[in-house]
Structure 1
């Protein structure tokens, strides 16, 4: 597929944790123009949830979990795109007219972009057809102040989609001025507008770094240089995947992309949970430690109606109203699954808090002693 017209356009949907990427992708995938499209969803954590909640026909959802696209699963993205192309060319897969990649909120977009534009095999078969970045109007300014990844996500965008803008109009106006400074040319859409949920939002034309601020070209150049170094050091057949989540043998350049204080972990519960216990756990976590809770997403079996799970989404102290699903997305797995991403909030503390509300005895964990020796590590912590 060397002809330019035959290349498959790839759109990247990015934005920081909790900005509303999955919600927007859900709307876009319902557009009839996306019937011959595929979605690749990357989750930062060892338990995948987002792919269960994205509605699509057929088998067009590919999940990449246990890492961040800019780090541990970048090679897996290349492998996935190559496998899709091989399947199409050999007739094992139906033709695909577009691919949408939803990155984890922690992803630096530059290496994801370079994986598509800089790999000769991928570039021969796929075109990077623009980047759509979702920005949370409520937490946007604080997020841009605190996280380099968020600033890069905005700077590289062809379109910016502002979510939750109607919750705080004044904050949205101030945020728009900040976004203009980082990306003067990208149009800004309101996520609640009909236009933002159409397939056309992904159609932006061949990506042009020259239309962005000068930093974007430099970031891509740095990634290209790093890719060459990595290629020569590891050879043609080294494609890092799930096995690299422990960083064994992984390139230090990738391991150190994110702040070491940011942790992702999952909580799995086999038995249905009392609704009041869950409500008290969430209320205490967000009220006392909301600034440390970067993201929570969960699918929960409640004891009142365990056959109809509840979906939870939260960012810092802001949680969306719970959504009750009519049935489990995967009838074979009805366990409660929570994915929690924190900054300076130890996993052991959150797990103990959750177990306490469920009435479980305290489990002897090896990392508790260090935390108990330093009670100032988490304000308000009690054991």
Structure 2
């Protein structure tokens, strides 16, 4: 996985500032050797940045970015771009950014990266970056389930237009997004100005670290901290995992984000069976799963990643980054309570432990 090309998916609801953000990124020198797949060149105003046409629907910018217009299927666009790279028909690129349409569900793109034989061997998901309009974000989340899903699945949340939004409204939206997706860093952006380093390398692997950054990727502590904070506000015991939290009259009341942990090593066949059972029964409700597993059958930690019905094969990591060797699996679900998942996993793993599997 570490040898494949990282892919960043840039998503966000209509009018949330993706085009402005992309324009800023394309002019940044740190975006050199990046291939950017966009819907139309004209939509992002590339004329003043254009250096040369490399091939049909492909231009090379002065910053070093390679921009490719997606005329049809994203699968074909990624395949063609990689083949042109191999043949030397386009300059070498070391990462890809995909801009989606405002109404796009990011899940199919991730499915493609996981399941297409060519793409899954050449590309890997680095992260999902979602733009949220600070001025209209609350109303968008209230009225559009797609926007909630985009925010819930994100690895980075970019709060745009904060300069024209009401301060109190921004703070309320900030808190709401933190509740919806506690692990994603929330970055406030004005006029699309964001540093590439703040949104890239959001996955397990990057070019500099030999040992993957498990803590940064999962940020499991954020889920536990938010849960304890909510419990304290509601006068509940933070160590009692039987209660849950819901906000009424919102699309995001359907979404839960939490982490399943086990301190001791687990049976990988049992855990895999439990996850497969969960996916077969409630796959459409599993927006995203990612985790690190301490499996008794493996000397190395296993990274797992799934989106709805699609699950990536477990990837052995070169080692643990520190002394914390616990199993941590992050779940982002819709219309699926944490208690259901916890009881299933605990039940299957408990049976495996009893039988010494």
Which of 282, 288, 296 is equivalent to 1:217? 288
Aligned residues: 209
Checking the alignment, whether the CA contact within 8 Å between 2:75 and 2:112 is kept in structure 1 is yes
Q: Sort the Cα spacing of 1:26 and 1:197 in 2 relative to 1 into closer, same or farther, 3 A.
A: farther
Checking the alignment, whether the CA contact within 8 Å between 1:40 and 1:102 is kept in structure 2 is yes
Give the match's secondary structure for 1:128: strand
Q: Tell which deviates more after alignment, 89-98 or 142-151.
A: 89-98
Using the alignment, how far apart are the partners of 2:136 and 2:179 within structure 1? Answer: 17
Using the alignment, how far apart are the partners of 1:96 and 1:27 within structure 2? Answer: 19
Using the alignment, how far apart are the partners of 1:99 and 1:105 within structure 2? Answer: 19
Using the alignment, how far apart are the partners of 2:106 and 2:192 within structure 1? Answer: 26
Checking the alignment, whether the CA contact within 8 Å between 1:9 and 1:126 is kept in structure 2 is yes
Cα deviation, residue 209, structure 1: 8.3
Cα deviation, residue 193, structure 1: 8.8
Matched with 2:194 is 196
Aligned: 1:28 with 2:25: yes
CA deviations over 1:341-377 (Å, ceiling 9, x no partner): xxxxxxxxxxxxxxxxxxxxxxxxxxxxxxxxxxxxx
Give the match's secondary structure for 2:23: helix
Matched with 1:112 is 109
Which of 174, 177, 180 is equivalent to 2:175? 177
Checking the alignment, whether the CA contact within 8 Å between 1:22 and 1:50 is kept in structure 2 is yes
Which of 130, 143, 147 is equivalent to 2:127? 130
Using the alignment, how far apart are the partners of 2:177 and 2:111 within structure 1? Answer: 23
Aligned: 1:62 with 2:68: yes
Q: Sort the Cα spacing of 1:187 and 1:146 in 2 relative to 1 into closer, same or farther, 3 A.
A: same
Give the match's secondary structure for 1:196: coil
Matched with 2:92 is 95
Give the match's secondary structure for 2:288: helix
Give the match's secondary structure for 1:93: coil
Matched with 2:5 is 8
Give the match's secondary structure for 2:163: helix
Matched with 2:35 is 38
Q: Sort the Cα spacing of 1:56 and 1:102 in 2 relative to 1 into closer, same or farther, 3 A.
A: farther
Checking the alignment, whether the CA contact within 8 Å between 1:162 and 1:190 is kept in structure 2 is yes
Task: Name whichever structure is richer in strand by fraction.
Answer: 2
Cα deviation, residue 199, structure 1: 4.6
Q: Sort the Cα spacing of 1:77 and 1:41 in 2 relative to 1 into closer, same or farther, 3 A.
A: same
CA deviations over 1:173-232 (Å, ceiling 9, x no partner): 11111111210111111112997233542221249689693642379554539xxxxxxx
Checking the alignment, whether the CA contact within 8 Å between 1:160 and 1:187 is kept in structure 2 is yes
Q: Sort the Cα spacing of 1:39 and 1:82 in 2 relative to 1 into closer, same or farther, 3 A.
A: same
Matched with 2:156 is 159
Aligned: 1:86 with 2:92: no
Using the alignment, how far apart are the partners of 1:172 and 1:210 within structure 2? Answer: 24
Matched with 2:293 is none
Alignment of 1:252-263 (within 5 A): none
Q: Which runs of 5+ in 2 are unaligned?
A: 53-58, 60-65, 206-216, 221-255, 259-285, 290-304, 312-357
Using the alignment, how far apart are the partners of 2:50 and 2:9 within structure 1? Answer: 18
Matched with 1:50 is 43
Checking the alignment, whether the CA contact within 8 Å between 1:10 and 1:126 is kept in structure 2 is yes
Checking the alignment, whether the CA contact within 8 Å between 1:113 and 1:128 is kept in structure 2 is yes
Cα deviation, residue 169, structure 1: 1.2
Matched with 1:332 is none
Using the alignment, how far apart are the partners of 2:141 and 2:111 within structure 1? Answer: 23
Q: Which runs of 5+ in 1 are unaligned?
A: 66-72, 226-383
Q: Sort the Cα spacing of 1:210 and 1:152 in 2 relative to 1 into closer, same or farther, 3 A.
A: farther
